[in-house]
Amino acid sequence: MTRVVDILVPFALDQAYSYRVPDGMALEPGDVVAVPLGPRSVMGVVWAENPSPNPRIHNRMKDVDEKLDILPLKSELRKFVDWLAEYTLSPRGMVLRMCLRMGDLGPERERVGVRLAGPPPQRMTPARARVMQALADGMVRSKSEAAHDAGVSAGVINGLVDEGTLETLILPPEPVAKPPDPDYFQPDFSEAQGAAANRLREFVIAGGFSVSLVDGVTGSGKTEVYFEGVAEAIRRDKQVLILMPEIALTAQFLDRFAERFGVRPAEWHSQVAPRKRARTWAAVAAGEVPVVVGARSALFLPYTKLGLVIVDEEHDPAYKQEDGVRYHARDMAVVRAREEKIPLVLASATPSVESEVNARRGRYARLHLPERFGGQHLPSVEAIDMRREGPPRGRFIAPRLAEAVKAELERGQQALLFLNRRGFAPLTLCNKCGHRLACQNCDAWLVDHRFRRRLVCHHCGFSMPTPEKCPKCEAAESFVPVGPGVERLEQEAAELFPGSRILVLSSDLVESMDRLRQELDDVAEGRFDIVVGTQLVAKGHHFPKLNLVGIVDADLGLANGDPRAAERTFQLLHQVVGRAGREEGRGYGFLQTHQPEHPVMRALIAQDREAFYSAEIAAREAMHYPPFGRLASLLISGGDKHLTEQYARKLAAISPLDERVKVLGPAEAPLAVVRGRFRFRLLVKSPRAYDLSAFMREWLAAAPKTKGTLKLEVDVDPQSFL
């Protein structure tokens, strides 16, 4: 009897293919194999037995080439792949591919060590003498360690090897992660912290699926508290995954972790070098890595004994992957924890409305940390009504904010001016004919970036020097900037506060992560007086001398038609204002706004988070927006506007009929053209208890094939509506 198995390959295919198992090859579901696919041999994973194969088609099947020397994928991970693919309507092979991003599995480069073995060299130099002294203990060191310890170059070490003074040995590979010590350092907890830590510990001890929301203002000790859950998991020999929304935060977190556990955790994200990835992947699969800190892709690693997952800054929009497989890492972490039957911890000072609703309804356990550690007050916040007390024309800092900044600087303190807009000005127009400089590929204005001396499109990256003359009326020197970006704000600040040291922090100006860290340290150590920054400065940094935060345009995020605009604005501004007064004195925040009565502004001023959530939850419920209803979006794009729109209309016309589901559109997308492609959107709304993925699948199965440049993209639970 021929044995047949179904094998999933990591390509844009939803189906697993059947292969014959050669005699004598022991295969189990989850095993990683090589199989022929067309002319190639590719990696695949045994997904299932195929118990009732039809003997007549056996002859047309191919054999599995070989079983690879890679640890198998556990059934929990395979179920997770199936679930995620089905939910997001992605081909299963593409989800599997995220699990198999194991880097370069090529041969390990050997680590060479040296130790003192032979007679002293013929010719002695001071450098050589230092090496002899540093290695006098006879211990083996890697070449680079030896060079470092002796304060010499690698050449000196190699010279001594050639002379026979040092002998070389092959060292075992360095472990990916050393064992963390759960009792390395434990802080004294406040009562609320201790209570929260105890409950987390209990969840880990009890095992089984649970979700807790660690909810506390910035600086309340959320990290310290969830570290107790991590410690408990380590004691029980379980693996822990800590997810961060951004790579930059991951890097900062490593040392923080080492202060608590004595060693750094393993790191996983797209910037980890291939060889390191390969070793980390294999070590995670072997259960040798106790703790992984990573960006969303770390969710797909083959943990063997996962015991706890933590999602830090769970509200952060960066958890949504917006290309390829579109998934939300926080939501999928919940799914993974459910499959693995383990506890999950969400942490945030401003939880997502989704998580807040779950906590209010008791589906998530809320672990509340009501105050900042050390009794620091939260900053007090005031509005500056731009309709009544705004700055003069062409200026963006209102007199009252300027006064407050001046007073801070006189007291030797720092101020942060926040504006979530890169560049000098978002729009440039000709003051003779009114012509606006727009991108040639997109339906968007070009943003003036003066530091780089270019006009840049923020959607496709197109850039050009500012033209000498207006392309329309040919007037010379007629361009005027409209509206502010951080670079323009810096200019204004330099005029208002002469002699102050100003730093602009904006992602487009970051040359490297190291450089950014240096600049942040400079701010923390008081080498700048004023920081002008975009959302790059909102997260995770601690500036002891910063007492004042001015939000230059608090209304900026409210303008777009995104159902989450209010929530996002509240979260971002709360976080930015929270940078003030973390250590000394009392912090102040100023919101420059045209709508001080807006619920977001009122909640920020009154420090009434509950009021904001209650109002926002009521509004979502009334509109049947998430989490009270489900959304999916279809984006149809193509190089020809007419054909694209036609296809979108056809698609709308054939949608399955179900009175519980509303199909809105097609409408031109808010960003109607990007990279020369015309874009149309359909939005689908259903009740909460409805299988919207199944509805979408049925619909797309009936959709006409996309031809030429036409492209159809599905997004379940969309976060972006542009």
User: Which residues here bind Zn ion, judged by CB under 5 A?
Assistant: 439, 441-442, 457, 459-460, 462
Q: How far apart are CA 297 and CA 273, in angstroms?
A: 15
Q: Going by DSSP bridges, is the β-strand pair 66-67/32-37 parallel, antiparallel, or unpaired?
A: antiparallel
The closest of 655, 658, 638, 657 to 646, measured between CA atoms, is 638
For residue 395, the one-letter residue type is R
Q: How far is the CB of 521 from ligand ADP (least distance, A)?
A: 15
Q: Evaluate the omega torsion of the peptide bond into residue 627 and state whether it is cis, within 30 degrees of 0.
A: yes
Residue 331 is a binding residue for ligand ADP (CB under 6 A) = no
Q: Which residues pair with 169 in a beta bridge?
A: 113
Q: How far apart are CA 310 and CA 243, in angstroms?
A: 6
User: 684-704 as b/e, with b when 16 or more CB fall inside 10 Å?
Assistant: bbbeeeeebbebbeebeeeee
Residue 466 CB: number of other CB atoms within 10 A? 14
Q: How far apart are CA 303 and CA 334, in angstroms?
A: 16
Q: What is the DSSP string of 25-38?
A: ----TT-EEEEEET
- Partner from Zn ion, ligand ADP, none binding residue 649, C-beta < 5-8 Å depending on class: none
Q: How far apart are CA 611 and CA 602, in angstroms?
A: 9
Q: Which is nearer to Zn ion, 371 or 443 (CB)?
A: 443
Q: Going by DSSP bridges, is the β-strand pair 711-716/629-638 parallel, antiparallel, or unpaired?
A: antiparallel
Of 41-49, 119-127, 181-189, 591-599, the segment contacting ligand ADP by CB under 6 A is 181-189
- Partner from Zn ion, ligand ADP, none binding residue 219, C-beta < 5-8 Å depending on class: ligand ADP
Q: Which is nearer to ligand ADP, 541 or 677 (CB)?
A: 541
* SS3 assignment, position 476: strand
Q: How far is the CB of 319 from ligand ADP (least distance, A)?
A: 17
Instruction: State the SS3 of 300-348.
Output: HCCCCCEEEEEEECCCCHHHECCCCCCCEHHHHHHHHHHHHCCEEEEEE
Q: Which is nearer to Zn ion, 209 or 462 (CB)?
A: 462
Q: How far is the CB of 374 from ligand ADP (least distance, A)?
A: 7
- Encoded tokens for 225: 């508290």
Q: Which is nearer to ligand ADP, 190 or 250 (CB)?
A: 190
- Chosen residue from 187, 262, 399, 563 binding ligand ADP by CB under 6 A: 187
Q: Which is nearer to ligand ADP, 481 or 581 (CB)?
A: 581
Of 184-192, 398-406, 433-441, 563-571, the segment contacting ligand ADP by CB under 6 A is 184-192
Residues in 657-696 that interact with ligand ADP by CB under 6 A? none
Q: How far is the CB of 720 from Zn ion (least distance, A)?
A: 17
- Partner from Zn ion, ligand ADP, none binding residue 459, C-beta < 5-8 Å depending on class: Zn ion
For residue 609, the one-letter residue type is R
Q: Going by DSSP bridges, is the β-strand pair 677-687/530-533 parallel, antiparallel, or unpaired?
A: unpaired
Residues in 251-310 that interact with ligand ADP by CB under 6 A? none
Interface mask toward ligand ADP for 64-83; x: CB under 6 A: --------------------
Distance of CA 65 to the CA centre of its chain: 38
Q: Which is nearer to ligand ADP, 220 or 239 (CB)?
A: 220
- Partner from ligand ADP, Zn ion, none binding residue 224, C-beta < 5-8 Å depending on class: ligand ADP
Q: Which residues pair with 142 in a beta bridge?
A: 113
Q: Which is nearer to Zn ion, 397 or 439 (CB)?
A: 439
Q: How far is the CB of 548 from Zn ion (least distance, A)?
A: 36
Q: Write out the H or E segment, with its range, that includes residue 112.
A: strand 111-116
- Partner from Zn ion, ligand ADP, none binding residue 646, C-beta < 5-8 Å depending on class: none
The closest of 386, 376, 341, 178 to 263, measured between CA atoms, is 178
Interface mask toward ligand ADP for 700-719; x: CB under 6 A: --------------------
User: How many residues of this chain bind ligand ADP (CB under 6 A)?
Assistant: 14
- Partner from ligand ADP, Zn ion, none binding residue 638, C-beta < 5-8 Å depending on class: none
Q: Which is nearer to ligand ADP, 210 or 218 (CB)?
A: 218
Residue 567 is a binding residue for ligand ADP (CB under 6 A) = no
C-alpha torsion sign, points 254, 255, 258, 260: negative
- Chosen residue from 188, 191, 255, 410 binding ligand ADP by CB under 6 A: 188
Q: How far apart are CA 20 and CA 128, in angstroms?
A: 63
Interface mask toward ligand ADP for 201-240; x: CB under 6 A: ---------------x-xxxxxxx----------------
Q: Which is nearer to Zn ion, 435 or 624 (CB)?
A: 435
* SS3 assignment, position 547: strand
- Partner from ligand ADP, Zn ion, none binding residue 223, C-beta < 5-8 Å depending on class: ligand ADP
- Partner from ligand ADP, Zn ion, none binding residue 441, C-beta < 5-8 Å depending on class: Zn ion
Answer for the pair 431, 480: CB distance below 8 angstroms, yes or no. Answer: yes
Q: How far is the CB of 721 from Zn ion (least distance, A)?
A: 19
Q: How far is the CB of 611 from Zn ion (least distance, A)?
A: 40
- Partner from ligand ADP, Zn ion, none binding residue 220, C-beta < 5-8 Å depending on class: ligand ADP
Q: Which is nearer to ligand ADP, 196 or 493 (CB)?
A: 196
DSSP 500: -
Residue 193 is a binding residue for ligand ADP (CB under 6 A) = yes
Q: Evaluate the omega torsion of the peptide bond into residue 666 and state whether it is cis, within 30 degrees of 0.
A: yes
Residues 6 or more apart in contact with residue 583 via CB below 8 angstroms: 376, 542, 544, 545
- Partner from Zn ion, ligand ADP, none binding residue 83, C-beta < 5-8 Å depending on class: none
Answer for the pair 582, 221: CB distance below 8 angstroms, yes or no. Answer: no
Q: Write out the H or E segment, with its range, that includes residue 242.
A: strand 239-243
Q: How far is the CB of 220 from ligand ADP (least distance, A)?
A: 4
Of 133-141, 189-197, 560-568, 675-683, the segment contacting ligand ADP by CB under 6 A is 189-197
- Partner from ligand ADP, Zn ion, none binding residue 677, C-beta < 5-8 Å depending on class: none
Q: Which is nearer to ligand ADP, 188 or 410 (CB)?
A: 188
Residues in 333-392 that interact with ligand ADP by CB under 6 A? 373
Q: Which is nearer to Zn ion, 442 or 503 (CB)?
A: 442
State the angle between helix axes of 92-99 and 75-88 in degrees (0 to 180), rounded to the nearest 10: 130
Total residues found in the chain within this entry: 722
Q: Which is nearer to ligand ADP, 344 or 447 (CB)?
A: 344
- Partner from Zn ion, ligand ADP, none binding residue 221, C-beta < 5-8 Å depending on class: ligand ADP
Q: Which is nearer to Zn ion, 518 or 560 (CB)?
A: 560
Long-range contacts of 577-580 (CB under 8 A, 24+ apart): 577/379, 577/381, 577/549, 577/551, 577/604, 578/217, 578/218, 578/219, 578/349, 578/378, 578/379, 579/416, 579/537, 579/538, 579/541, 579/543, 579/546, 579/549, 580/379, 580/416, 580/546, 580/547, 580/548, 580/549
Q: Which is nearer to ligand ADP, 250 or 644 (CB)?
A: 250
Q: What is the DSSP string of 384-401?
A: EEHHHHPPPTT--S-HHH
- Partner from Zn ion, ligand ADP, none binding residue 426, C-beta < 5-8 Å depending on class: none
Residues making contact with ligand ADP (CB under 6 A) = 187-190, 193, 216, 218-224, 373
